[in-house]
Structure formats: structure tokens, C-alpha cells
């Protein structure tokens, strides 16, 4: 049978930024559940700035998966600034994810440095 993949979600809030750190492993079957949990966390604290750190999560998926996930984000997502922090080795995938999100009107940007992500969120929330 083997071990079932699992993940952990850690959250903190500072300076109006909700920081979510994901660790562990996500599978094609669990990515939708993880995404819904992250969205629910955001709704429960009602913040306008999300920083999601996925550097420690194992499991990356096809471009089509990113496209369909972005297209199915809740309608209130354009009001939330989202910074994704990931490893430089995932740049192609994350750039596709960012472009897809921006093309449908979301405030979404990808980073490899968490401090740059925080700075961007502070700047866009001042506008």
C-alpha cells in the first residue's frame, strides 16, 4: 500500500499580509483539496494580501492543470493580491501560472525571494 502523501498548511499574519507556508507532498488527487483549503483560510481572515510559500511542497503538475485551476478561482479573487514564492527551478511553470492569472484579471505575481514578495504586496496594496 505505501504511505499516503500529505501536506501541512501553516499560517501567520503580519502587516496586512496573510502568509501561508505549504510543506509536504501534494498529488494530482489532493491539489484541488489543498487549493480549496487555502482559499477558505483567506476568506476566514478577510485579508487583501496573500503570500503563499510553496518552496517546500513536493508535487508539480502539468500546465493544463494550472490553467484550469486559475480559471476556476472564486470570482472575488481579483480583489486579492497574491504572491507565490517558489524555487527558481520551477520558473517556467510558475511564469505560466502567473501569466494565466494576470490574463484573467488577477493580481498575481511569482517570486523566488520571500522579502521581494512581501515588498510587492505592500506596494500594490498602497495603490
Say if CB 14 and CB 39 are below 8 A apart: no
Query: What backbone phi and psi angles, to 5 degrees, belong to 2?
Result: 85, 175
35 DSSP assignment: H
In a domain, 1, yes or no: no
In a domain, 77, yes or no: yes
Q: Among all chains, which residue has been given the C-alpha cell 481579483?
A: 78
Task: Return the CATH number at 100.
Answer: 3.30.750.24
> In order along the chain (127 residues), what is the average pLDDT of each group of 10 residues?
69 92 88 83 84 87 56 62 88 76 79 96 88
Tally the domains of the chain: 1
Helices in 46-90 by DSSP H: which ranges? 63-71
Residues of the domain holding 12: 7-126
In a domain, 86, yes or no: yes
What was the pLDDT predicted at 62? 59
In a domain, 120, yes or no: yes
What was the pLDDT predicted at 68? 52
In a domain, 2, yes or no: no
In a domain, 13, yes or no: yes
In a domain, 55, yes or no: yes
What was the pLDDT predicted at 5? 56
In a domain, 66, yes or no: yes
Amino acid at each position: 500500500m505505501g504511505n499516503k502523501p500529505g501536506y501541512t498548511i501553516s499560517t501567520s499574519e503580519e502587516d496586512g499580509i496573510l502568509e501561508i507556508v505549504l510543506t509536504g507532498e501534494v498529488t494530482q488527487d489532493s491539489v484541488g483539496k489543498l487549493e480549496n483549503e487555502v482559499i477558505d483560510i483567506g476568506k476566514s481572515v478577510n485579508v487583501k494580501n496573500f503570500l503563499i510559500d510553496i518552496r517546500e511542497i513536493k508535487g508539480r503538475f502539468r500546465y493544463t492543470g494550472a490553467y484550469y485551476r486559475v480559471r476556476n478561482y472564486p470570482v472575488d479573487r481579483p480583489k486579492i493580491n497574491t504572491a507565490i514564492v517558489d524555487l527558481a527551478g520551477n520558473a517556467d511553470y510558475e511564469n505560466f501560472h502567473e501569466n494565466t492569472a494576470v490574463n484573467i484579471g488577477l493580481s498575481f505575481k511569482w517570486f523566488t525571494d520571500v522579502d521581494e514578495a512581501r515588498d510587492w504586496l505592500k506596494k500594490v496594496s498602497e495603490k
